[in-house]
Amino acid sequence: MFYSEDLVEEIRQRNDIVDVISSYIKLQKKGSNHMGLCPFHSEKSPSFSVSQSKQMYHCFGCGVGGNTFTFIMEYENYTFVEALKFLAGRAGIQLPEEEYSIEARRQADLKSKLLDINKEAAKYFYYQLKTPGGKIALDYLQNRQLSEETIKQFGLGYSNKFSDDLYRYLRGLGYDDSTLKESGLITMDEKKGVFDKFWNRVMFPIMDVNNKVIGFGGRVMGDGLPKYLNSPETKLFDKSRNLYGLNFARISRKKNILICEGYMDVIALHQAGFTNAVASLGTAFTGLQANLLKRYTDEVLITYDSDEAGTKAALRAIPILKAAGLSTKVIDMRPYKDPDEFIKALGAEEFQKRIEEARNSFYFEIDVLEKNYDLSDPEHKTKFYNEIGKKLLVFTEEIERNNYIEAIANRYNIGFDNLRKLVNRYGARLIAGEIIENNETFDVRKKKRYPEDSVKESMKILLTWITSDLNLFSKVKSVITPNDFLDPLYYKVADMLYKQFENTGTVTPAKIINQFESKEEQNEVASLFNSGFREEISLPDKEKALNETILRIKKYSLDDASKNVKDLNELQQIIKEQAKLQKLHISLKDG
């Protein structure tokens, strides 16, 4: 369904964000904003900020942000159209009869065709598995001790050794080349011709939560590379937004979900009765996948490989899962590498015991950290305790932090007061604006080691200020242009803001959110309007900070331009602008 941008904007304007969100959570006025406990992650102190002037929300704890539409979509698990209809009804706005635009109808038809193609491909691969040519793949699956019932449940199949067999089959069903290319199953190259994406591989259909095939994974038969190959991103398939096996795990009725590394681990666990297992799709675990899990559970157990790579993957996933508000534990499968090996060796009953003995994820992180130090050496022990002190800062709630300090102090016989003092000392240094890394301290305000991060932070601060004060926008726009925002996302947002101001004399940050489909982008865009100094900062300090911020952005932009200069005139113009920066000063005294 397509609705005009004007209608979407009218519905947004007629639903004040404070009124909408306060019907779900308790908000309290704090300065110019409203604060409450974030509904998207677990917290005890409010970090969820709602701005009535900007009609946006942003959580300083987990990073979610957006406008009224994105809140309803996230909270109610609605699509955009469902959220639009809900808010239209709330505002008493009658939506027009559903009528697809030509483009919307084309996109809907394309997605429908792609789903049909994937379904036919899955059937074709399953059929190939049962042919004489598929014996190599069937033997592989049977040697992995998979039953016929399991093979059928997961729709496992085989892509044969002919490089264009699937292409010819799908063409025979009437699908044209342009649609087949969009499916990601067929590669079309001007020099090499047309050939199948997958051949001579065991095939794993990847399904969404509604059991629709959206992509495939393939495991090569023999020594070819890559060993595992996934579908490319298509209109249907985004690796970062889906989890293998979630279509089954979401209805398992178990209190938690197991995260594995690979297809075979998921399948082996399901066959053994652990129907709550899922796996990420050949990529690092993402925040989008964590948010997807949050819809179905509050607790996640990590069952990654027990080797070094699996340990590193677990350490990367833990903070992402915690940020989504998920309780996280880690299963120890040693001496076996993965769940598949473990179950084959010891069986389901022993694996259930490992589930019950799963370690608190923070203890797991400490155990991994401890391996880097020789605790019989006083110097090593001191460094280890200092690293623990830094890690304990992840707990922002005092009660929770003290509970962990007590547990760790008892475990290593440190002394509660000594460890708490160490943690508080690092906390004070962070509040003072320092980054602590590898026992070295860096001033976050100077950012000498991180120039790009410093400039991006300055861009965030400036975008926050100019959307909060139109008088300031009028002064800044003659010095800083959208082209000075070198990050692609920041440029896109700045360009929209400048055009809004030029066309209407005002800016509406909440309207910009609607231009981004990805939840990650929506969160980042919302964060661009929620950065900067405290409201109580003095005028002279704000003026000084503003000029430093503008100078940093402009200087970085000109330096970048000088690296890509094409002729002498261009270089001379850049030098003139760099000279002007020495005299740059924007005053805030006259408003």
Q: What is the pLDDT of residue 136?
A: 96
- Decide which of 183, 210, 237 is a domain's last residue: 237
Report the number of distinct structural domains present in the chain: 5
Which runs of E-coded beta strand occur in 129-220? Answer: 157-159, 186-189, 193-196, 201-207, 213-220
Each residue's pLDDT tens digit in the chain (591 positions)? 567 888 888 999 999 999 999 888 888 888 888 998 888 876 777 889 999 988 999 988 888 888 999 999 888 777 788 888 899 999 999 887 665 566 667 777 888 999 999 999 999 999 999 999 999 999 999 999 999 999 999 999 999 999 899 999 999 999 999 999 999 999 998 888 999 999 999 999 999 988 999 999 999 998 888 899 999 989 899 888 899 999 999 888 888 999 999 999 999 999 999 999 999 886 678 877 888 898 889 899 999 999 999 999 999 899 888 877 889 999 999 999 999 999 999 999 999 999 999 999 999 999 999 999 999 999 999 999 999 998 998 887 788 889 999 999 999 999 999 999 998 888 776 654 444 443 344 443 343 333 566 788 888 888 888 888 888 888 888 888 898 888 888 889 999 989 988 888 888 888 888 788 777 788 888 888 877 554 555 677 778 888 888 888 888 888 888 877 777 777 777 788 888 777 778 887 765
77 sits in the region (left: phi over 0; alpha: psi -120 to 50; else beta) called left
Instruction: Please check whether residue 96 lies inside any domain of the structure.
Output: no
Instruction: Please check whether residue 365 lies inside any domain of the structure.
Output: no
Q: What is the pLDDT of residue 32?
A: 82
Tokens at residue 374, please?
């020789």
Instruction: Please check whether residue 590 lies inside any domain of the structure.
Output: no
In this structure, the answer to whether residues 227 and 300 fall within a common structural domain is no
Is the Cβ–Cβ distance between 208 and 228 less than 8 Å?
Answer: no
The CATH number given to whatever domain includes residue 23 is 3.90.580.10
Instruction: Please check whether residue 434 lies inside any domain of the structure.
Output: yes
In this structure, the answer to whether residues 563 and 458 fall within a common structural domain is yes
Domain enclosing residue 121, as ranges? 104-237
- Decide which of 399, 423, 443 is a domain's last residue: 443
Q: What is the pLDDT of residue 590?
A: 62
The CATH number given to whatever domain includes residue 534 is 1.10.860
Nearest to 458 by CA among 584, 586, 557, 548: 548
- Decide which of 319, 338, 360 is a domain's last residue: 360
| Alpha-helix residue ranges (DSSP H) falling in 329-415 | 339-346, 348-356, 361-370, 378-391, 398-412
| Angle of CA points 269, 271, 273, to nearest 5° | 70
The CATH number given to whatever domain includes residue 338 is 3.40.1360.10
In this structure, the answer to whether residues 110 and 224 fall within a common structural domain is yes
Instruction: Please check whether residue 98 lies inside any domain of the structure.
Output: no
Instruction: Please check whether residue 99 lies inside any domain of the structure.
Output: no
In this structure, the answer to whether residues 162 and 259 fall within a common structural domain is no
Instruction: Please check whether residue 279 lies inside any domain of the structure.
Output: yes
In this structure, the answer to whether residues 219 and 306 fall within a common structural domain is no
CB count, 10 Å around CB of 250?
18
Measured distance CA(284)–CA(261) in Å, rounded: 10
The pTM for the full model equals: 0.63
Q: What is the pLDDT of residue 438?
A: 38
Measured distance CA(416)–CA(403) in Å, rounded: 10
Is the Cβ–Cβ distance between 511 and 9 less than 8 Å?
Answer: yes
Q: What is the pLDDT of residue 520?
A: 79
Q: What is the pLDDT of residue 426?
A: 81
In this structure, the answer to whether residues 496 and 569 fall within a common structural domain is yes
Q: What is the pLDDT of residue 102?
A: 67
In this structure, the answer to whether residues 57 and 125 fall within a common structural domain is no
In this structure, the answer to whether residues 325 and 389 fall within a common structural domain is no
Measured distance CA(290)–CA(323) in Å, rounded: 8
Is the Cβ–Cβ distance between 325 and 291 less than 8 Å?
Answer: no
In this structure, the answer to whether residues 122 and 222 fall within a common structural domain is yes
In this structure, the answer to whether residues 291 and 194 fall within a common structural domain is no
The CATH number given to whatever domain includes residue 164 is 3.90.980.10
In this structure, the answer to whether residues 260 and 276 fall within a common structural domain is yes
Instruction: Please check whether residue 490 lies inside any domain of the structure.
Output: yes
In this structure, the answer to whether residues 108 and 69 fall within a common structural domain is no
Measured distance CA(404)–CA(423) in Å, rounded: 11
φ, ψ of residue 59 to 5 degrees: the values are -100, 120
Tokens at residue 438, please?
């590898």
